[in-house]
Amino acid sequence: MSTASPADHPSAAAHSARVAGVWAPESLGEVLGRVRSGASTPELEAAAALGRADAYGRPAAEGQGTSLEPAESFDPVWIDRLDAAAVAAGAAQSSAGGAHLPLTGVPVAIKGNIDVAGLPTTAACPSFADGPAAVHATAVQRLADAGAVIVGTTNLDQFATGLNGTRSPYGAPHAAGLPGHVSGGSSSGSAVAVARGDVPLALGTDTAGSGRVPAALNGIVGLKPSKGLVSTAGVLPACRSLDVVSVFAADVDSAALALTVLAGPDPADAWSRTADGFTAPEGLGALPPRLGAGRALRLGVPAALPEGTRIDPEAAAAWEAALAVATELAGEVELVPVDLEPFFEAGSMLYGSAFVAERYASVGTFIEQAFATDPGDTALDPTVRDLVLAGASPSAATLFDDLDRIRVLSAGAHATLATVDALLTPTVLEHPTHEELAADPVGANARLGLFTTFGNLLDLAVLALPAARRCDGLPFGVSFHAPAFQEARVLELGARFEAAVRDSGAPVGTGDVSEPTLLRPAGAPPATDAEGRLLLAVGGAHMAGLPLNHELTGAGGEYLRLTRTSPDYVLHVLDTPLGPRPGIERVGRESPATASTGGLGVEVELWALPSEALGSFVHRVPPHLALGPITLLDGSTAIGFLGAASDEVTSSRLVPSWRHFARGL
């Protein structure tokens, strides 16, 4: 398989623009739309991804121990890539799965502390791996089983210890399009690989904010699921009791789709858990609609920052603009100042208490032996070494004192969360340069984690996503925080925020610093597109690549994007005289039926249909369906086909998506 990006591949023009400095990562919906429509194939997508990555240089591991080539020949974003034959084999497997698979043809990058079969799991320490991994980590295998094509492993702060992206012997990636600025870490390479367009999806890990800080500094989405929701089997632990596998993507819809593939119990992971037994905090009701009447949406916002906190003036202005966007997330929004002192104190304990002993338990013995064997080994990052080895000192009594303290802080934090629908914060308050980070490596790293280090200690679900850029052109991001297993809540709020920023016309991500960042008021999500076509949400056999899609394209329909309904919809498999048919029904967020989707709504595609063609298209729809409004994840409304069981039609079961049913699951 050629590793050159085909000149006529649908992504080629977009990538040329990215290389020229206009950074716009692709969503999963864009890639899947090409593959499912026949405009591309998994083989083409995989070859194009390898070509895009190759354009920046060879993987950094190939430059270890050689002085024959300049450092510029090697790309610090990637540690290793699978060879072309292995990627081709993955693409062929994806093609064989067909359009029914949820991630057919999607190229994926994997953080270098997660096992990828055939590649060494170095965790950014070349001497740590004793050979290639024999099998994929569970999360990687779930992606491959869903049709994704694994490309390779990405760089990270060594042993996932850091939030800045500079603590690696493989080099320090810079933020996408911003050579002077750090990428954030520890999942540095995964974030940059998505942000600069190498791949549309990447896995990271998150213990202190490693899946959120790089998302903010690169202008993309980072989802930190609840602990145990995604298996960590096959992941080298930083702190096993706190680690999660995280997701990097271009938009919220993509992150939500990835989570539906990744989430689920795993008997190979002793820390795996489900929402069973976890109840939503008392008073945590359904979100009010984005538009129209209803109770006020209550968003907690920081009442104050710790004394001495450094905040860039540009970040402060961007935060005020983000708060203005937040007022567009419902018909009425209350921004509720809350005391975050319990959150901040909890976050400070991740490195400033006996909890650091868990890092020592993971890799401390290896570091001690490696340092004793070769004290001058430059592949061992000295800051990481000192942080990890400090974990050998705390006593068991100190650890139990700290466990008690975190329990008290958690109770206070969750009491605060019970008074609001979610907590909204900046993700980071500054965007340091490499020089600033080098001048104060520990202090700058700690500042990057102010709003992230408490997330896993307090057992939260968190979504980080872009807001409008700062006035100096640098990316700025916000985070929605909610109690464990409230992923649907943070994804829905994030989708609404994303739509409001999009409606405002403000630029996000990274790009030309001369572009304006002024916001204009967000308008109501349109029922039609700019050309006056109807927006149609389809969730059954009319989706791209499925048997009845030709009826939609034949009526002049144009695919727009892949998204989801709001979390209060379910999808029935209806037994009809014509055979099994889909039926989307709105059942309410408190219904037990929503568990069939993991509480994440129903996968749908948004199509634009000429209004004059609606009649001929509707004529083909079976009688058990009815045309009606469907609320999407971002709060907007589209026309869709609703159906539910009746005296004549029975529901045989509920499924997360029609593709799930179509592939026999």
Active site residues: 111, 186, 210
* Of 646, 615, 625, 554, the residue nearest 583 (C-alpha): 625
Query: Among all chains, which residue has been given the structure tokens 């139990």?
Result: 400
Q: Do strands 460-466 and 221-224 pair parallel, antiparallel, or not at all (unpaired)?
A: antiparallel
In the block, residue with structure tokens 């006035």: 471
Query: The tokens 């920023």 sit on which residue?
Result: 501
Q: CB count, 10 Å around CB of 544?
A: 23
Compute the distance between CA of residue 116 and CA of residue 123 in angstroms, rounded to an integer: 12
Q: What proportions of the chain, in percent to the nearest 5, are helix, strand and coil? A: 35, 20, 45
3-class SS string, 133-202: ECCCCHHHHHHHHCCCEEEEEECCCHHHCCCCCCCCCCCCCEECCEEEEECCCCCHHHHHHHHCCCCCEE
Specify whether the CB–CB gap between 597 and 571 falls below 8 A: yes
Q: Which residues have CB under 8 Å from 380's CB, separation 6+?
A: 125, 158, 367, 370, 371
Query: Which H helix or E strand runs over 463?
Result: strand 460-466
Return d(Cα 606, Cα 597) in angstroms, integer.
19
Q: How far is CA 153 from CA 76, 188, 360, 539, in A?
A: 11, 11, 24, 34
DSSP-H helix ranges across 537-605: 549-554
Pick from 114, 342, 349: which is nearest to 211 by CA? 114
